[in-house]
Amino acid sequence: MAVRQRQVDKRRAILDAAAPIFGTLGYERASVEAIAAAAGVSKPTIYTYFGGKDGLFRESLADSAVEQNGDALAAIGRLDLTAEGWRDSLHALGLRLVTCQQDSCARFLRRHIAAESTRDPEIYRLVRATASDPILEALAGRLAMLGNAGRLRVPDPTLAARQFLALVTAEMPDLTENDTRDAAPAEVRRAVDAGVRTFVAAHTPS
């Protein structure tokens, strides 16, 4: 158990050291040597855990994405399923999810992933599997519960989750000029509320 814990601690230390170095210098300029020194491990240790710079970079981006998604997952888990509260709660959830996405770190991470995925498509696949898919699955689960309770018509919870995310974020590229500026809170709320209303109208039981 102690050996396993030391392995976890070393892996965590490497990822914690890699994130700011990759974030500041980018993939090309960041060196394994600098990351090893910052983590307090040897260069061969990084190769043992991650196979090299490519593997470490992928895992670093995925790890950062998982950390960014923590608030979103918590918000999904708090979705109110009661007859009295589910509508307001759905609006609050949509706003929280969009707010999480507009965090400066989240936007920086998105741009980083988009830029480097052209070079290494495995980055996108890994981030999707470790960070994006859990959000989708959690949201699909809560929407399925609303469907089971008769609040909404949800024949395909995963599709419904995709539609919800698409609708609440639909106006954000225009409002933020493709992530280059902050949108006014009132604009964000209006856009999210419009998306949620469209979602609810489309999924209201006959």
> Which of 84 and 103 is assigned the larger pLDDT?
84
Q: Is the pLDDT of residue 2 over 70?
A: no
The pLDDT tens digits for 11-56 are 999 999 999 999 888 899 999 999 999 999 999 999 999 999 999 9
In a domain, 153, yes or no: yes
Which pLDDT belongs to residue 206?
A: 81
- Of 12, 9, 10, 53, the closest CA to residue 30 belongs to 53
The pLDDT tens digits for 160-176 are 999 999 999 999 999 99
* CATH code at position 74: 1.10.357.10
* 96 vs 74: CA distance, rounded Å: 10
Q: How confident is the model over 68-97, as a mean pLDDT?
A: 95
- Residue 23: CB partners within 8 Å, gap ≥ 6? 108, 112
Mean pLDDT for the chain? Answer: 92
Q: Is the pLDDT of residue 3 over 60?
A: no
Are residue 90 and residue 166 in the same domain, yes or no? yes
Which pLDDT belongs to residue 1?
A: 52
- Of 76, 20, 86, 6, the closest CA to residue 48 belongs to 6
In a domain, 56, yes or no: no
Are residue 68 and residue 47 in the same domain, yes or no? no
Count of structural domains within the chain = 2
For residues 30, 66, 16 and 118, what is the CA-based torsion angle, rounded to 10 degrees? -10
Neighbours of 44 (CB within 10 A): 10
In a domain, 59, yes or no: no
Are residue 46 and residue 92 in the same domain, yes or no? no
Are residue 96 and residue 165 in the same domain, yes or no? yes
| CA 45 and chain centroid, separation | 29
Which pLDDT belongs to residue 67?
A: 87
Expressed as residue numbers, the domain containing 47 is 2-51
Are residue 101 and residue 190 in the same domain, yes or no? yes
Q: Are 183 and 171 in contact (CB under 8 A)?
A: no
In a domain, 120, yes or no: yes
Which pLDDT belongs to residue 7?
A: 61
Are residue 91 and residue 163 in the same domain, yes or no? yes
Are residue 16 and residue 69 in the same domain, yes or no? no
In a domain, 46, yes or no: yes
Are residue 196 and residue 97 in the same domain, yes or no? yes
Are residue 72 and residue 9 in the same domain, yes or no? no
The pLDDT tens digits for 115-141 are 888 889 999 999 999 989 999 999 999
Provide, rounded to the nearest whole percent, the portion of the chain with pLDDT above 90.
76
Provide, rounded to the nearest whole percent, the portion of the chain with pLDDT above 70.
96
In a domain, 84, yes or no: yes
